[in-house]
Structure formats: C-alpha cells, structure tokens
Structure 1
Amino acid sequence: MGNAGLARRGAARRDRWPEARAVLALAWPLALTNLSQHLLALTNAVILGWHSTEALAAATLGANLYWMLMAPSLGTALAAGPILAQARGHGQLRGGAGRGWVREMRRGARASLLASLILLVPSLLVLWHGEALLLALGQEPALAALAGSYLRAMMWGLVPFAGFIVLRGFLAAMERPGPALWITGAAVVLNAVLCWLLVFGAFGWAGMGMPGAGLASVCADLLMLLGLLALVARDRRLGRFRLLGRFWRWDAARIAEVWRIGLPISGSMLLEIGVFTAAAVAMGWFGAVAVAAHAIALQVAASTFMVPMGIGQAATARVGILAGAGDGAGAARAGWVSIGLGAGFMAATAVALVLGAERIAWGFLDPADPDAAAAAALGAVLLTVAGVFQLADGVQAVAAGALRGLKDTRVPMLLAALGYWGLGMPVGVGLALWAGFGPLGIWVGLAAGLGVVAALMLRRWWRLSQASRDAVAVAVVAV
C-alpha cells in the first residue's frame, strides 16, 4: 500500500473516534429510554409473577399478542426517525437557510403520526377480542381469559404510545434524546406504584388483578406523551417546529412516503415479534411452567436488547443526517462504528447471562409457589441459550438501524422473513416436537434464526456502505 493509501486509512481511523463519541452521546439516552420502556413491561411481569405463576404466563401470552398487533402502527411511527433525520441533514447541507427544512420536518412528523393512528384502528378491534383469539390458538381457557382481561385494559395505551414514538424520533433527529429518557423514567416509577396498588389493592381494597396491571401501563403511556408534548411546546428551539399545528391536515404524498418506509419496518417487527409470539404459543403446548420459563428468558433477553436497539436508533439518526447532507463516507463510517459498539456490548452480556442464568431466573419467582422450582430450572436453561445468541441479536438490530438511516427497509424485511420464518421457527418446532427437545428446542431454533438474520443484515449493510463510500453523495435507497 502506498503512502497515500496509508494516510487515508490513518485519517479514517482518526475519524472513527469523533463519530463514536457522537453515536454514544446519542445512543446512551436512547438505550436507557428503551430500557425504561421495557421496564414498564418487566415491572408488570415481575409483579404479576408474584401474584401467581398463572398470571405471569397469561401476561406473557397477552403481551406477545399486544406487541404483534401493535407492530403495524409502531413501525410506521418509527419511520419518523429516518424521514426527519434526512430532512434535517438536507437543511444543514443548505446551511440551514430559510425555514424550508423546518417545514419539512413538521410535515414529516405530522404525516408519521396520522399514518400510525390510521393503522391502530384494526389493531384495537382485534385486541378487544384477544381471549377468543388465544383460545383459537389452542391456549388453556383459564390463561386465555386472564390474558384477555389484561389486553382489554392495556390496549388503550396504544394511541399515546404511538404519539410518543413519533416525538422521540423527532428528538433523535434533532440530537436531543435526553428529555425522552427522563420522562420515561418518571413513567416507570408511576407504573410500578400503580401496578402494585391496582393488582394487589391497598387500604382494604382487594385489587383488580390482571386488568390493574394493564391500566397502570395506560397511565404510564399517557404520562410519556403528555410529558414530551409539554417539553416540545416550552422549548424555544423545538417549539418553532409547531409539530401539532394542523396535525389533522391530510398530506397524501407524505403519508404515502411514511407508509412506503414504515410498513416494511412494521413487517420486520411483525416477523420478529411474530416468531417470539409463535414461540410463546408453542410453549403453551407444554403447560404453564414452560410459558413462565419462556417469559423469564424473554424478559431478560429483551432487557439486554434495549441497548443495541438504542445504538441502532442512534445509527438511524446519524446515518440519516449524514446521508441527507450528502456525506456518503460519513454515513458509512457512522454505521460501522455503531455496529461495532453494539457487538461489543452484547458480547459482554452474553458472558453475564451464561454465568448467572439460575440466579436471574429465581429473581422472577416466588419461592413459595409450588411451580417455582420447575420454572426456575427451565428458565435457567433458556437463559443460557439466550446468552449464546446475544451477539447476533445485537448486530442485526444495529445493522437494521443503520439501513433505516438510508431508508432501506424493504430488503431488511425480506431478510428477516427468511431468517425467522424460513429457518428459525421451523427448526425450533422440529426440535421441540419431533426431536424431543421440548421447550429447549424452540429456543435453539430462535437462536439459529437470529444468527442467519444477523449475517444477512451485515452483508446488506456492507454492500450499501461500500456504495455510499464510493459515491459523491449517498443516494437515498428506493423503497
């Protein structure tokens, strides 16, 4: 390699450190916000687990169905991230002159909100009949009844949560993720207090049981939305965007763009959530203990996943801003730095899960429960498998976030379909039912599917990042 090549490589290495600092400054509040949001569900799971093993199993079934049916709206709301990041980057490319880019960001946020709310209507209708759907899927009647009561209370938080996701995407595009973290943290505290009071009761009141946990989640979702709305309205820099100004105004072209970008995100989420929901349903074939053990492993794996998910969101913002500004090399560098950070974190959590599996499993259970020992033993086994697939899960999450920054969402959806449903679920069911592995087989299949998705996502990002590095400006990927 000549001196010029060595100089370019040295400069590239030096440029990675400022980019790593920029990604981390954006990622850590996003990751903690994700973790706080997950703590809302985790708090419900722990409190309901203390209530009874059946309540924990029912909450798991209900929560999986909830997130699966929320995916179309949530994915569309997440489209606000790359749309607003590229709009801001394009404004910076023009030196921020005029208010054109401010108007574009306002219209993008408004279209994302409307497009998301439209998709919520069918989801709410299905969730109202969650018990009947779970019965049709072969679940035990008692568990289906409990999960149905949980869903009928919790479903009303979908609308404020969709609004919160759009506003969080706006703040990420503005590289102001901190407020969402503090507001979500307050919501976690509110949810924990209300969940305990509403589930178990207080001051002589018997409590509501499962519906109480759902109602507590609705109150937390409302707090998150109202808190961000108040912050954006009071902040002089953010208030000039007037995000809710005439938010009902129909903008067919922008709503079509949101759906064009967001529906593949929804599809990817639906495929991933769907495979874990299918796994929960399959666990139901092995009884309440298997579902409870699955719930433990899933909650822990989902908790660690919040960090690479936050890094992926930071990658969406950084890649989107740089892509909008026409800096192809910078966009490629931002993506690779983010993937490296996500992989490093998940490698560390893999070691922690494998070494502490049994102790972690017992933290979810009441030792006095007669089924606790069996659930803890199986939960520890499943947590060990979860530790094995941590690295793959982190890589695929961050790579998907980087691809979203380029508005590349359709191909990643197809890759997820191939990995999760072409390999993961068939292998898991085959190992569980025909090879005699039982619940363990389901999780081995999930691990295999995640590994394939990670490899495919990484290859896709390598190809697009090479193209963007060689281009004068990043061409926005046609969806």
Structure 2
Amino acid sequence: MFKEYTKEFRYNIKLSVPVIMGMLGHTFVQLADNIMVGQLGTAELAAVSLGNSFVFIAMSLGIGFSTAITPLVAEADGAGEKKNAKSALKHGLFLCTILGITLFGVVFLAKPLMYSMKQSDEVVALAMPYLNLVAFSLIPLVIFQAFKQFSDGLSQTKYPMYATIIGNVINIILNYLLIFGTFGFPKMGIVGAAIGTLVSRVIMIVYIWFLLKSKEKFRGYVTNFNFRVIEKKVIKKMISLGFPSALQMFFEVAIFTAAIWLSGVLGKNAQAANQIALNLSSMTFMFGMGLGVAAMIRVGNQKGLQNFKELRRIGQSIFFLTLLLEIVFAILFLVCRNWFPTLYLDLDDAFNLADNTEVVALAAKLLLVAAFFQISDGVQVVVLGALRGLQDVKIPTLITFVAYWIIGFPVSFYLGLYTSFKSTGIWIGLLTGLTASGIMLYIRFNYLTKKLISTSEA
C-alpha cells in the first residue's frame, strides 16, 4: 500500500527542492539579517521584527494573490495550450504590478499605527526609517512573484531558485557592508539592512526575466507582451482565484503578526524571543511551502488531463512525504531548542548579558511548542497547495479564517496576556489554529477528490 505513495517521492522531491531552496534563501537572508542586527542590540532586533510585521502582512497578500498564476499555467501546460499559459503570465504581471504599488501605499500610510500599539518608544523610533524602504521593496517582490509562479506552473522550479540565490547573496553582502559600515561604507544600522533588501529584490526581477528570455523554449512566453489588450475574462478568473488565495495566506501570516504585537506588549525581550523562534520556524516551514507548490503543480497538471484518481494518489503521496519530513524537524527542535537561540545573540556582551540571557530562555520555551506545530503547519500548507491546484479556493479561505481567527487567536490572546503562560501561551494558540486548519483542509481535499472520481466514473 505504502509503495503507491512512496514511488512518487523522488519526482516530488525533484520538483520541490528548487522551490524550497529559493524560499530557504529568503529565510536565510532574514536569519542573516537577524543575526547581524542582533549584534547591535535587542532594541534593534525588536525594531526589525516590528517593521517586518507590517511588511509581512502586505507580502502575504501579494504572494498569495500571485499563486493564482501557477494552477492556470499548470492546467494549460497539462492540456498543451501555450497561448493560455502566456496569457496567464501577462495578466498576472499586470495585476501584480498594480497590487505591489497598492500594498506599498497602504503600508506607508499605516506607519503611524505603530505609535498606538503599546510598543516601546525606542523600538518604534528605530523601526520607522527601516519600514519606509522595506515597504517600497514590496513592488519588485510582487512583480518577481508573477515570474516565479509562472515558471513554477511550467514545472521549471529551478529558474526562480537561481534568481533568489543571486538576490540573497547580494542582500547579505550589502547588509554586511551597510549595517556595520565595513570597507569604508557608511554605518547605517538597520536602515542598511533595508537597502540591501530593496536592491536585491530589483536584481531578482531583472535576472529571472533575462534567464527565461535566454532559453529558446521560454522566450515566446516572456517577450512581446501587449498590455494594451487586457481581457476582462482572464482578469476576472485570476482575481477569483487570486483574491481568496491572498486571504488564505493573509489569515495565517496575520495571526503570526498578531503574535509579534502581543509579544511586544509583554516587552522587548519577549518580542525578541518571538522573533528568534519565528525565524527558525519559518526556515522549516519553507520545506512545507515548497512541497505545497509541488502539490499545486502536479494536481493542476492532472486536472488538465482530467485524471482524478491519479490526482488523488499524487496529492496523498505529497501529504505523506510532508508528514515524515515535519516529524524529523519536530525532533530537531526538541533536541536543539536551548542551543538555537544562542546563535542570534552575543552572550559575551557584558552590557546586555541580562537581556540576552532572558531572550535565550524565552525562545527555548517557544521552540518547545514550535516543535509540535511543525507537523500541523507543514501538512496544512501542502493540502492548501493541492486545493489550489484543483482551483478550489473559496471554502479553504473560510476554513483558514475559522482555524486561525475563531479558534487560534482567542487562545493566543487569552493565554498570552491573562495567564502565567505569557509568550508560551501565545504560541500554544498558534499550534491550536494550525492543527485545526490542517484537519479541516484535509477533510475538504478528501471530499472533493472522491466526488470528482465518482462523477467522472458515472
């Protein structure tokens, strides 16, 4: 029985590894940012956390919306309709550009909210100039996502990976030069980290477009766009897929952002500990995200072929692979929970020793909870990818809202602010929401695929 699923592991891994590497690249840069910024002090680390909390919400909407491109391209590719695949990219680029500019505007106008969020004055003052530049970098990021999702839809997941690696290397180099002012560059602190982010995201767009244009089989897709001809039917289809997908990602990212804000109410050390645990959890989450993209591509292909039995089998094989992988990560977090946080802070710094020691102890407790939600988080994002491949987005959007905001957030809020659990209570709420999401989404996939098979056999 297991062989039916395990025989798909090799191809699923081959398809998902470039996506995982690209996403890990983004998270690795955040890790490098946090480690470098952490050397400046806990206030600077908390400021980056606060600034990024605004950007992550906007980013979730942009990235979530762009995922509408992948199932449309995958279905067109499965059915051999190249014209439809190019149309999905053109209209996706058009919508992603508008969305990127809009998100920048919203974040820029929302900045004053930081003053009314009961955050430390020192942290807010540091976060303001950082947020200006990182918010502007949303425009190139969302445009890059359009190219990435298109390339993923054609099962060419390695090209976005190359672009991401190039961008990340540039980001880390610029961060090192500009945060600390090395080799004669100005010492700009966390603003230097923001400049590195902006420049690297612009370079990523240029590089992926050049890469696809240089390949004969992709040149026709990425050149000679006529943006004066925009089809309402395609725009409507993309919005009907993209908007719910954006909300799905928003609901999840927003609850993690709420955890950042709730931690900020508990103090700068609680917020810094939350940032460390969140950054480490994000790295393992990228494996689930990559496998979720593989599920979206493969399910989309089978939908184009109208082969629903194979679609269900392939989907379940990816779920099984994800479950095994996330159990390994859970064990890793349990074993290394006291050591991982020490990578972020200078424990030899006598001036900040008390703060740094407290942050490490708090982060270790959060990683104990994170060990268990690895499994829920990985499974729910992969099942969500499979449902997007089926172009089923409306009910999953409702499921994610209920799981995170009706079930998870109240637990976080109550345990975090009104019990002795404090930071750990906030993360117990996250675990509750993710587990509810994973269970309900799997029930939805199970129901839909059985229904499709019985309808096709009737």
User: What SS does structure 2 have at the residue aligned with 1:389?
Assistant: helix
Query: Does the Cα contact within 8 Å between 2:66 and 2:142 map onto a contact in 1?
Result: yes
Q: What residue in structure 2 maps to residue 82 of structure 1?
A: 71
Q: What residue in structure 2 maps to residue 98 of structure 1?
A: none
Query: Does the Cα contact within 8 Å between 2:177 and 2:183 map onto a contact in 1?
Result: no
CA gap of 1:204–1:73, structure 2 versus 1, over 3 A, is closer
Q: Deviations over 1:398-419 (max 9, x none)?
A: 0000000001111111111111
Query: Does the Cα contact within 8 Å between 1:73 and 1:117 map onto a contact in 2?
Result: no
Question: Counterparts of 1:439 and 1:117 in 2: how far apart (Å)?
Answer: 38
Counterpart amino acid of residue 415 in structure 1 = I
Tell me, yes or no, if structure 1 residue 334 matches structure 2 residue 330. no
Q: What residue in structure 2 maps to residue 388 of structure 1?
A: 372
Q: What residue in structure 2 maps to residue 409 of structure 1?
A: 393
Q: Deviations over 1:272-306 (max 9, x none)?
A: 11111111111011111000000000000010000
Question: Counterparts of 1:107 and 1:443 in 2: how far apart (Å)?
Answer: 42
Question: Counterparts of 1:74 and 1:31 in 2: how far apart (Å)?
Answer: 15
From 145, 154, 161, give the equivalent of 1:174: 154
Superposed displacement of residue 17, structure 1: 4.6
Q: What residue in structure 2 maps to residue 456 of structure 1?
A: 440
User: What SS does structure 2 have at the residue aligned with 1:297?
Assistant: helix
Q: What residue in structure 2 maps to residue 354 of structure 1?
A: 334
TM-score (normalised: structure 2): 0.95
Tell me, yes or no, if structure 1 residue 115 matches structure 2 residue 99. no
Superposed displacement of residue 473, structure 1: 8.3
Q: What residue in structure 1 maps to residue 196 of structure 2?
A: 216
Question: Counterparts of 2:346 and 2:111 in 1: how far apart (Å)?
Answer: 27
Superposed displacement of residue 125, structure 1: 1.6
Moved more, 159-168 or 28-37: 159-168
Q: Deviations over 1:31-70 (max 9, x none)?
A: 1111112222222122111121111111111112101022
Superposed displacement of residue 464, structure 1: 1.3
Q: What residue in structure 2 maps to residue 378 of structure 1?
A: 362
Q: What residue in structure 2 maps to residue 260 of structure 1?
A: 240
Question: Counterparts of 2:287 and 2:185 in 1: how far apart (Å)?
Answer: 39
Superposed displacement of residue 467, structure 1: 2.0
Tell me, yes or no, if structure 1 residue 73 matches structure 2 residue 62. yes
User: What SS does structure 2 have at the residue aligned with 1:241?
Assistant: helix
Counterpart amino acid of residue 155 in structure 1 = A
Q: What residue in structure 2 maps to residue 34 of structure 1?
A: 23
Counterpart amino acid of residue 406 in structure 1 = L
User: What SS does structure 2 have at the residue aligned with 1:408?
Assistant: coil
User: Equivalent pairs: percent with the same residue?
Assistant: 28
CA gap of 1:262–1:53, structure 2 versus 1, over 3 A, is same
User: What SS does structure 2 have at the residue aligned with 1:418?
Assistant: helix
Moved more, 107-116 or 315-324: 107-116
Superposed displacement of residue 206, structure 1: 4.3
Q: What residue in structure 2 maps to residue 443 of structure 1?
A: 427
Q: What residue in structure 1 maps to residue 10 of structure 2?
A: 21
Counterpart amino acid of residue 442 in structure 2 = L
User: What SS does structure 2 have at the residue aligned with 1:51?
Assistant: coil
Superposed displacement of residue 472, structure 1: 2.7
CA gap of 1:221–1:248, structure 2 versus 1, over 3 A, is farther
Q: Deviations over 1:175-201 (max 9, x none)?
A: 111122222112221111101111111
Superposed displacement of residue 133, structure 1: 1.7
Question: Counterparts of 1:113 and 1:194 in 2: how far apart (Å)?
Answer: 28
Question: Counterparts of 2:89 and 2:186 in 1: how far apart (Å)?
Answer: 44
Query: Does the Cα contact within 8 Å between 1:110 and 1:243 map onto a contact in 2?
Result: no
Q: What residue in structure 2 maps to residue 343 of structure 1?
A: 323
Question: Counterparts of 1:103 and 1:243 in 2: how far apart (Å)?
Answer: 13
Superposed displacement of residue 145, structure 1: 2.2
> Alpha carbon RMSD of aligned pairs, Å?
1.7
Query: Does the Cα contact within 8 Å between 1:76 and 1:115 map onto a contact in 2?
Result: no
CA gap of 1:366–1:172, structure 2 versus 1, over 3 A, is same
Superposed displacement of residue 436, structure 1: 2.5
Counterpart amino acid of residue 345 in structure 1 = L
Q: Deviations over 1:97-126 (max 9, x none)?
A: xxxx21111111111121222223332123
Tell me, yes or no, if structure 1 residue 311 matches structure 2 residue 291. yes
Q: Deviations over 1:223-253 (max 9, x none)?
A: 2111110011110011122356124532221
TM-score (normalised: structure 1): 0.91
The 5 Å alignment of 1:143-222 reads: 143-222=123-202
Question: Counterparts of 1:28 and 1:448 in 2: how far apart (Å)?
Answer: 29
Gaps of 5+ in 1: 1-9, 92-100, 475-479
Question: Counterparts of 1:453 and 1:17 in 2: how far apart (Å)?
Answer: 25
Q: What residue in structure 2 maps to residue 302 of structure 1?
A: 282
Counterpart amino acid of residue 47 in structure 2 = A
CA gap of 1:55–1:123, structure 2 versus 1, over 3 A, is same
Query: Does the Cα contact within 8 Å between 1:110 and 1:244 map onto a contact in 2?
Result: no
Question: Counterparts of 2:22 and 2:401 in 1: how far apart (Å)?
Answer: 28
Q: What residue in structure 1 maps to residue 226 of structure 2?
A: 246
From 260, 266, 280, give the equivalent of 1:286: 266
Aligned pairs, how many? 454
